Amino acid sequence: MKYFIEKRNGDYAVKENDADFSLLLDTNAVLRLIVINEAASDEMQQTFRLKLAPDSRLEIIQFIFGKRATKIEVNADLDQAAQLSLRTTTGFSEDGKLNYSYHALHSAKSSKSDFQMKSFLVDNATKNAKMQTTFEASAHGAVGAEFDNTLLLSENAKNTVSPIIVCKTDDVDGKHGMSSGHIDENAMQYLLARGLSPAQIKQIYAHSFISAALRNINDSEALEYINKVARKYENFIR
């Protein structure tokens, strides 16, 4: 895993770490992370443990690419008025299998979590995602959202998503949703009529998922590295 940590001056510190990732964010702290995971030749398993103190804010932009079995777990505990934003973009090809688990625990009032996942799957790739937001009885006024959007770029690609909202109090706002499918046939025919090949059309759609996440990144080293990794998986699309 390679990750970029935004510093106070707007620059990023670059770190590499294949072990589990634990983070305790202090009261009023603000942190932005860019995380890149790749399982190109070996299987990968990693757990992120995040604890957000009162009034802290954490933004994570995460990219996961692979051709092998990959298991990622994200567990976040949000204290009073803490805010978590997690944007995850994934691309898997060949026989790659992604098992992704996300759990945001709202343990105090006025906390906020927002999880958005976009994926493209090629060849025989599969994704199994479990998204859960839990509001404890003490989480009055908390807000949590979880959404998944997956593009299937081959007949054998498969996507399974389990969105879960657990509310132990009524005074919360929990939202979840998902969409999964192939490229719209009318859109495919329109682009074919304009001279694009099926592979080119699929690559355009896959790249749109990646480029949408890249819009919020202004560090040149991070952009160069992400594009380099992503291009390998876009090129698998036929």
Residue 11 has what pLDDT?
A: 67
Residue 120 has what pLDDT?
A: 94
Phi, psi of 182 (to 5 degrees): -90, 170
Quote the percentage of the chain above a pLDDT of 90: 68
Q: What is the pLDDT of residues 98-153, one digit of tens each?
A: 999 999 999 999 999 999 999 999 999 999 999 999 999 999 999 999 999 999 99
| Separation of alpha carbons 40 and 170, rounded Å | 44
Average pLDDT taken over every residue of the chain: 91
Lowest mean per-residue pLDDT among 2-11, 34-43, 51-60, 199-208: 2-11
E runs forming strands in 107-157: 112-121, 126-135, 143-152
Lowest mean per-residue pLDDT among 131-135, 152-156, 233-237: 233-237
| Separation of alpha carbons 41 and 205, rounded Å | 25
Tell whether the model's pLDDT for residue 236 goes beyond 70: no
Q: Where are the domains of the chain?
A: 2-234
Query: Using 50, 70 and 90 to split pLDDT, how confident is the model at 13?
Result: confident
Q: How far is CA 12 from CA 37, 63, 175, 229, 230, in A?
A: 17, 17, 33, 19, 20
Phi, psi of 110 (to 5 degrees): 65, 20
| Separation of alpha carbons 123 and 158, rounded Å | 10
Q: What do you get for the CA distance between the two ends of the chain, in Å?
A: 27
